[in-house]
Amino acid sequence: MAVTGTLNCQAAEGLLGAWCDGELKVEQAEQVKRHLAVCPSCRSRRVQLERLDNTIRAVLQRKAQEVRFDLAWAGIEERMAEKRSWAARFAERARLAFEMKRLRWAVSVAAVLLIGILALPDSYKAWLFDPGGGRTRIDSIDPHGRNVAVFRERETRTTVIWLFPDEEWDDEVKEESVSNNHVL
Amino acid sequence: MDWNDQDLVERCRSGDHAAFRELASKYYHKVYMVILSILNQTEDAQDVAQETFAKAYAKIHGFRGGSSFYTWIYRIAVNLSFDARRRQKRNPVGQTETGEVEESETGSLAGEPYEDLCNRTLGDKILRAIDELAPEHRAVMVLRVLEGLSYKEIGEILGCPQGTVMSRLHYARKQMQEKLSPWL
C-alpha cells in the first residue's frame, strides 16, 4: 500500500506497531507522527499498544527467571561430552601437551638436529660418529674359529687376518698335555 | 558484537570451558523462552535448549563473527525448535502405544490446565493468550517484546523478510489486544 501525504486511521493502525518499534522509514514515521497529532483514537491505540507490550514483557521476564540455569548446565555439559569424538579428544590432549613450552622447544630442537644429521654427507657422518679415526674403519669382524678375526676395510680394500692368543684354548691344551703325561 | 561476547567467544575457541559457561548463563533464559514459544512443551523446550548450547559449543570454531553471538545462537535454537516441532507433529504428545490420545497439556507458558479465563491473574491470562497464537507469531512476539531485537535481526533468525516479521507482529499484537482488552 503506497503511503503518501496524510494517513487515514486504517493505514495508521497498520503502521503503529512498527512506528512504536522504531522500524519505519523516516518518511513513513513522519506521516504516522502527523496523524497521531490530529487523531485521538489512534493516540489511544498507541497507549494500549505500549501498555500491552510492557505487560507482556514483564510477564515473560518473570517466566524466564523460573528457569534454573545450574540444572540446565549439567545437561548441556553431558551433551557436550557426547559430541566430542575420540579424535577430537585425542587432538585436544595432543594440543594441550604440545602447549607445554619446554616440551615444544625440546621437540623442535630435536627435530632440527635429526634432520640435520640425516642430511649430512656420508664422510661427515663418519667423522661425527668416529671423531678420532676416519683413517681406518672396521666394516666387519668375522669370528672364524676361536682365535682368528678378519677385518675388512672398504675404501682401501684391505683385509687383515688377526691371529690372537686364545687363553682359554691354551689352558685347555695345557691341561690335556698334562693329563696325557700322567697317563703316559 | 558486544565486546564482552567477542572476548568470551575467543576464549571458547581456545578451549576455555568457563568462558562458554559464562556465555551460556548470559543467554540461556532468553534462548529457552524463544524455544518454549515455538514448542509449547516444557520438557521438549529444555531438551532443545540444552542441545542448542551443546551444538553451539561444537560449532564455535565455525562462528565467524559476521553476526552477533546471540543472533547466531537464536538461529540454532529456532532451527532445532522447528525440527523438534516437525517431530512433534509426526508423533503427537500424549498418544499412547495403542493409539489412544491422552489428555494433552495445553499452553506450557501458562503451565496449568485450562480454567475459566476470568478467574486467572492477568499474568496467566497473558501467557494463555500467547499460547493460543500460532508458533511463528509467538516466536516474533517473544523475540521483539522480550528480547527487543530489530526486525532485521528477527528476520535473520527466523529466515524470513522484514516485511513478514512486521506483518506477523502486527497480527500477533492485534490478537493479543482482542483477547486481553477487558483487562488492559
Asked whether the beta carbons of residue B146 and residue A61 sit closer than 8 angstroms, the reply is yes
Count residue pairs from A and B with Cβ separation < 8 A. 99
Q: What is the pLDDT of residue A162?
A: 72
Range with the poorest average pLDDT among B67-81, B85-99, B144-158 = B85-99
How would DSSP label each residue in A137-148? ---EEEEETTTE
Amino acid, single-letter form, for residue B131: D
Does B96 have pLDDT greater than 50?
no
Work out the mean pLDDT of chain A and round it to a whole number. Answer: 76
Compare CB distances from B109 to A61, A63, A75 and report the shortest one's residue. Answer: A63
Cβ contact B61:B15 at 8 Å: no
How would DSSP label each residue in A54-88? HHHHHHHHHHHTTS-HHHHHHHHHHHHHHHS-HHH
Residue B89 to chain A, least CA–CA distance (Å): 25
Q: What is the pLDDT of residue B62?
A: 82
Q: What is the pLDDT of residue A24?
A: 95
Average pLDDT, integer, range B43-61: 92
A5: left (phi over 0), alpha (psi -120 to 50) or beta: left
How far CA A33 is from CA of A42, A49, A74, B47, in Å, comes to 10, 15, 51, 45
CA distance A36 to A12: 8
For residue A74, the chain B residue with the least C-alpha distance is: B50
Range with top average pLDDT, A11-25, A113-127, B39-53: A11-25
Q: What is the pLDDT of residue A139?
A: 56
Cβ contact B145:A56 at 8 Å: yes
Quote the cell numbers at residue B173: 499484537
Average pLDDT, integer, range B66-74: 86
Residue A110 to chain B, least CA–CA distance (Å): 27
Q: How confident is the model at residue B107 (pLDDT cuts 50, 70, 90)?
A: very low
Asked whether the beta carbons of residue A48 and residue B177 sit closer than 8 angstroms, the reply is yes
Mutation site for B-interface testing, chosen from A80, A93, A99 by largest number of B Cβ within 10 Å: A80
Asked whether the beta carbons of residue B29 and residue A92 sit closer than 8 angstroms, the reply is no
Compare CB distances from A52 to B15, B150, B184 and report the shortest one's residue. Answer: B184
Does B175 have pLDDT greater than 70?
yes
Does A178 have pLDDT greater than 80?
no
Return the SS3 of A153: strand
Work out the mean pLDDT of chain B and round it to a whole number. Answer: 82
Q: What is the pLDDT of residue A100?
A: 66
Run of H or E residues at A152: strand A148-153
Q: List residues of chain B with CB under 8 Å from any CB of chain A.
A: 15, 21, 24-25, 28-30, 32-33, 46, 49-51, 53-55, 57-58, 109, 122-123, 126-127, 130, 141-142, 144-146, 150-151, 162, 166, 169-170, 173, 176-177, 180-181, 184
Residue B102 to chain A, least CA–CA distance (Å): 27
Q: How confident is the model at residue B182 (pLDDT cuts 50, 70, 90)?
A: confident
Q: In this predicted complex, what is the ipTM? A: 0.76
CA distance B128 to B120: 10
Asked whether the beta carbons of residue A69 and residue B29 sit closer than 8 angstroms, the reply is yes
Does B1 have pLDDT greater than 60?
no
Neighbours of A162 (CB within 10 A): 10
Average pLDDT, integer, range A163-174: 60
Average pLDDT, integer, range A87-115: 74
Does B98 have pLDDT greater than 50?
no
Compare CB distances from B29 to A18, A67, A75 and report the shortest one's residue. Answer: A67
For residue A17, the chain B residue with the least C-alpha distance is: B170
- Percentage of chain A exceeding pLDDT 90: 28
More confident residue, A140 or B22: B22
Residues of chain B with C-beta less than 8 angstroms from the C-beta of A17: 166, 169-170, 173
Q: What is the pLDDT of residue A40?
A: 95
Neighbours of A139 (CB within 10 A): 9
Q: How confident is the model at residue B106 (pLDDT cuts 50, 70, 90)?
A: very low
Average pLDDT, integer, range B108-114: 52
> Which neighbouring-strand residues pair with A150?
A142, A161
Does B154 have pLDDT greater than 60?
yes
CA distance B10 to A59: 35
How would DSSP label each residue in B80-146? HHHHHHHHHHHS-TTB-TTSPBPPPPP-TTT-S----GGGS-HHHHHHHHHHTS-HHHHHHHIIIII
| Torsion angle of the four alpha carbons A142, A143, A145, A147, in this order, in degrees rounded to the nearest 10 | 120
Quote the cell numbers at residue B92: 503427537
For residue A77, the chain B residue with the least C-alpha distance is: B54
Q: How confident is the model at residue B92 (pLDDT cuts 50, 70, 90)?
A: low
Run of H or E residues at B49: helix B42-58
Q: How far apart are the first and last CA of chain B?
A: 37
For residue A83, the chain B residue with the least C-alpha distance is: B58
Q: What is the pLDDT of residue B117?
A: 47
Question: Per-residue pLDDT tens for A122-142?
Answer: 666 666 665 555 455 555 555
Question: Per-residue pLDDT tens for A3-59?
Answer: 446 889 999 999 999 999 999 999 999 999 999 999 999 999 999 999 999 988 888
For residue A66, the chain B residue with the least C-alpha distance is: B29
Q: Say whether pTM exceeds 0.80.
A: no
